């Protein structure tokens, strides 16, 4: 017996020792990583910025990711879905940074040229127009601009067409085929699955719930979309054709006949060359050789690209010469970017908790003399939108002005949050309007009946009798529809009061219909066409101040979150998921992700904003 105990004692001692060694090793490794990270951070803070030489360099304008108004960090909100199903975190590029780089490059005599590749940059059309205009200015100022891509879509070709030379890979294609907006209509699917969706709407043009109620696109939805998109497509093709010296209608003709052309000549890059859409068809090796021939590098290495400077190195070089604005007067800029939902802000989510905290911080700051609300949102939750509006009302009650600047999109709930503004600016191409409300509540009665499940019980009150396992009775439907109608009336009334219009005047231009910024100006939904700079100037004038500094309020990151984010980036974790699962996730429309089965969903969301 003692011999057996001795064996087990030795085993226990061995396992305990092994466990201690492993834990101590891991702890030591983590401490080493933290120590070197802290030392590196301190070293970078103490070291003087490295001098950047731009003489005879090529500005390498190749941003990969998405264009945003304001970069949003996701500290404390590590989203498994975004990490696993997307594979990587999305690189965010602030629009103003990209414009600053191009605007400065236009007058930089040191730069030899600008190389452009925006084929992996996602953006809305309004941002694309601004970047295209900035690149055109670079070319018109005598700076050589060379654009290259392996595939061109609407936005990337709009921008690249402004270059002196447009190059395409031999296996590439110019796919500037206009706006395409299609959705899956799942009424019959849900019927087959015995899943009942109860949909409540207010607004004849509010098309968000149509996938639940129809099997095709409604005529109202087609009308509203075409009246918005067609003029935008004309503007886009005009700009492409002017830059490429093409006859008017060339791009439309190309899009209408692309399949026929590909039948006659499957080499679509060659077709683009023949039509004058591009100047050269190259392989990756050939573009490298071409760039070496035009801009030899210091090492005289024909297999390397020219000596270049990246976007953000160039940006830092620009900003180091800027004088610090020491004005005691501040104008707060609060961003509402992404779908408006309760909770913290993250990429693609305008979290009301974060935005309300930012507004309250601006309210408490006595040096803040005015507030500019920068909206780039298709809307979302009514409750979250109202929380933001309430915080803005608290700021407004202090007697300080609020001016709104609309970005690419300010629709539905993105309009609701602007209804306390003293003045509203929109871009010409802003998608706005969509003043309407709807609610979606799924019930499981069909599935339960099919499966043979019965639900029964008792309730103290009539109001407590029904839940989502039963078919929805008429008295519940009537109550919910009344709530939707009330919210819609409140929405229209808010807009009417803010725009100094009558309720009856707003109704015809509400109803969930979308409008371009220039049309919204004609209808009185906005005050002026302009961007963030114009909104800031207006806010300063209304506050009665001549000098001011801009104070951007963003989601704060504590030091540990900063370290953790840097650590994860440096470790470079890759999760290789089946591409088919990624495809399925990408096809799930946002309305499915907005619906919380545990809540009664009342939404103000613009699904017209989701466009290819």
| Tokens found for residue 193 | 């699955």
| Rounded percentage of the chain residues whose pLDDT exceeds 70 | 80
Reported in sequence order, the residue ranges of 367-411 that DSSP labels E, i.e. its strands, are 368-377, 379-381, 402-411
Query: Is 52 within 8 Å of 317 (Cβ atoms)?
Result: yes
- Mean of pLDDT values over 378-388: 94
Which segment of 2-6, 309-313, 480-484 scores lowest on mean pLDDT? 2-6
List all residues 6 or more positions away from 144 whose beta carbon is below 8 Å from its beta carbon: 112, 113, 114, 164, 165
Helices (H), 419-471: 445-451
- pLDDT(469) > 90: yes
Q: Which helix (H) or strand (E) holds 234?
A: helix 219-244
- Distance of alpha carbon 367 from alpha carbon 471, whole angstroms: 56
Strands 113-116 and 549-553: unpaired
Measured distance CA(211)–CA(295) in Å, rounded: 54
Provide the b/e sequence for 51-63 (b: ≥16 CB within 10 Å). Answer: eeebeebbbbbbb
> Do residues 575 and 84 make contact, with C-beta atoms less than 8 angstroms apart?
yes
Domains 58-181+209-319 and 330-572+599-609 share a fold: yes
CATH value of 330-572+599-609 in 3.40.109.10, 3.30.30.10, 3.90.226.10, 3.90.1150.10:
3.90.226.10
Return the beta strands (E) in 356-447 as ranges: 368-377, 379-381, 402-411, 423-426, 431-433, 437-443
- Residue 269's φ and ψ, nearest 5 degrees, are -65, -40
Q: Which pLDDT band holds residue 15 (cuts at 50, 70, 90)?
A: low
H/E stretch holding 6 reads: helix 2-46
Please tell me the distance from the alpha carbon of residue 521 to that of residue 425, in angstroms, as a whole number.
9
Which superfamily does 58-181+209-319 belong to? 2-enoyl-CoA Hydratase; Chain A, domain 1 (3.90.226.10)
Bridge partners of 349, per DSSP, are 339, 346
Reply yes or no on whether the pLDDT at 209 is more than 50.
yes
Q: Is the pLDDT of residue 50 over 50?
A: yes
Containing H/E element for 349?
strand 349-351
Q: Which residue, among 171, 105, 165, 170, has the nearest Cα to 294 in the 3D structure? A: 165
The structure's pTM equals: 0.83
Half-sphere exposure of residue 424: CA atoms within 13 angstroms, side-chain side: 29
**Average pLDDT value for residue range 4-18:** 59
Which tens digit of pLDDT belongs to each residue from 83-122?
444 445 789 999 999 999 999 999 999 999 999 999 999 9
Rounded distance between C-alpha atoms, residue 285 and residue 282, angstroms: 8
pLDDT at 483 over 60: yes
Give the model confidence (pLDDT) of 523-582 as tens digits. Answer: 999 999 999 999 999 999 999 999 999 999 987 765 555 555 555 455 444 444 455 444
Least confident of 16-25, 149-158, 420-429, 521-530: 16-25
Residue 607, class by beta-carbon neighbours within 10 Å (0-12 exposed, 13-18 middle, 19+ buried)?
A: buried
Question: How much is the pLDDT for 49?
Answer: 52
pLDDT score, position 44: 47
- 417 pLDDT band, cuts 50/70/90, is very high
Please spell the DSSP secondary structure of 84-96, one letter per residue. HHHSSPPPEEEHH
E strand residue ranges, 97-256:
113-116, 121-122, 145-149, 165-169, 196-202
Kindly state the average pLDDT of the residues 36-63: 68
d(CA 225, CA 229): 6
Residue 291 has pLDDT above 80, yes or no: yes
Cα 446 from chain centroid (whole Å): 37
Domains of the chain, by residue range, sit at 58-181+209-319, 330-572+599-609
How far from chain centre, in Å, is Cα 144? Answer: 31
Residue 427: band (very low, low, confident or very high) from pLDDT cuts 50, 70, 90: very high
Rounded CA separation 388/379 (Å): 12
pLDDT of 272 strictly over 80: yes
């Amino acid at each position: 017996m003692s011999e057996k105990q001795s064996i087990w004692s030795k085993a226990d001692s061995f396992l305990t020792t092994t466990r201690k060694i492993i834990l101590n090793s891991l702890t030591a490794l983590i401490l080493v990583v933290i120590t070197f990270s802290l030392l590196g951070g301190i070293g970078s803070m103490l070291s003087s910025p490295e001098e950047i030489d731009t003489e005879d360099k090529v500005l390498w304008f190749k941003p990969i990711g998405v264009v945003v108004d304001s970069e949003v960090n996701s500290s404390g909100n590590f989203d498994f879905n975004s990490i696993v199903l997307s594979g990587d975190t999305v690189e965010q590029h602030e629009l103003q940074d990209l414009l600053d780089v191009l605007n400065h490059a236009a007058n930089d005599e040191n730069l030899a040229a600008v190389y452009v590749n925006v084929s992996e940059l996602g953006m809305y059309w309004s941002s694309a127009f601004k970047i295209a205009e900035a690149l055109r200015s670079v070319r018109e100022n005598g700076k050589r601009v060379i654009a290259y891509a392996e595939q061109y879509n609407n936005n990337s070709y709009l921008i690249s067409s402004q270059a002196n030379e447009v190059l395409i890979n031999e296996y590439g294609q110019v796919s500037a085929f206009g706006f395409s907006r299609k959705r899956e209509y799942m009424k019959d699917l849900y019927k087959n699955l015995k899943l009942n969706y109860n949909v409540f709407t207010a607004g004849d043009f509010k098309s968000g719930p149509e996938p639940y109620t129809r099997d095709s696109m409604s005529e109202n939805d087609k009308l509203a979309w075409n009246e918005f998109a067609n003029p935008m497509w004309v503007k886009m093709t005009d700009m492409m054709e002017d830059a490429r010296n093409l006859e008017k209608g060339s791009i439309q003709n190309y899009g209408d006949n692309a399949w026929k052309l590909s039948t006659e000549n499957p080499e679509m890059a060659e077709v683009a060359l023949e039509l004058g859409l591009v100047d050269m068809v190259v392989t990756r090796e050939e573009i490298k050789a071409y760039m070496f021939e035009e801009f030899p590098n210091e090492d005289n290495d024909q297999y390397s690209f020219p000596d270049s400077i990246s976007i953000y190195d160039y940006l830092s070089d620009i900003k180091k010469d800027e004088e610090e604005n020491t004005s005691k007067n501040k104008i707060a800029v609060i961003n509402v970017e992404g779908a408006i939902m309760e909770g913290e802000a993250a990429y693609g989510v305008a979290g009301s908790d974060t935005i309300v905290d930012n507004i309250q911080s601006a309210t408490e700051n006595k040096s803040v003399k005015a507030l500019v609300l920068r909206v780039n949102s298709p809307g979302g939750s009514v409750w979250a939108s109202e929380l933001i509006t309430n915080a803005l009302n608290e700021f407004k009650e202090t007697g300080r002005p609020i001016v709104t600047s609309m970005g690419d999109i300010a629709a539905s709930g993105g309009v609701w949050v602007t209804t306390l503004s003293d003045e509203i600016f929109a871009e010409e191409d802003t998608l706005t309007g969509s003043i309407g409300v709807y609610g979606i509540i799924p019930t499981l009665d069909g599935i339960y009946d099919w499966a043979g499940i019965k639900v029964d019980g008792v309730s103290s009150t009539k109001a407590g009798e029904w839940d989502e396992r039963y078919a929805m009775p008429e008295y519940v439907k009537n109550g919910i529809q009344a709530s939707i109608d009330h919210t819609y009336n409140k929405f229209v009334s808010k807009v009417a009061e803010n725009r100094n219009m009558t309720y009856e005047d707003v109704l015809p231009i509400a109803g969930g219909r979308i409008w371009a910024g220039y049309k919204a100006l004609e209808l009185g939904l906005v005050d002026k066409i302009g961007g963030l700079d114009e909104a800031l100037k207006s806010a300063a004038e209304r506050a009665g101040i001549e000098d001011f500094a801009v104070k951007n309020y963003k989601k704060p990151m504590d030091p540990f979150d900063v370290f953790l984010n840097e650590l994860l980036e440096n470790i470079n974790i890759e999760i290789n998921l089946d591409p088919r699962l990624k495809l399925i996730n990408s096809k799930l429309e946002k309305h499915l992700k907005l619906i919380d089965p545990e809540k009664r969903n009342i939404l103000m969301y613009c699904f017209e904003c989701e466009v290819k």
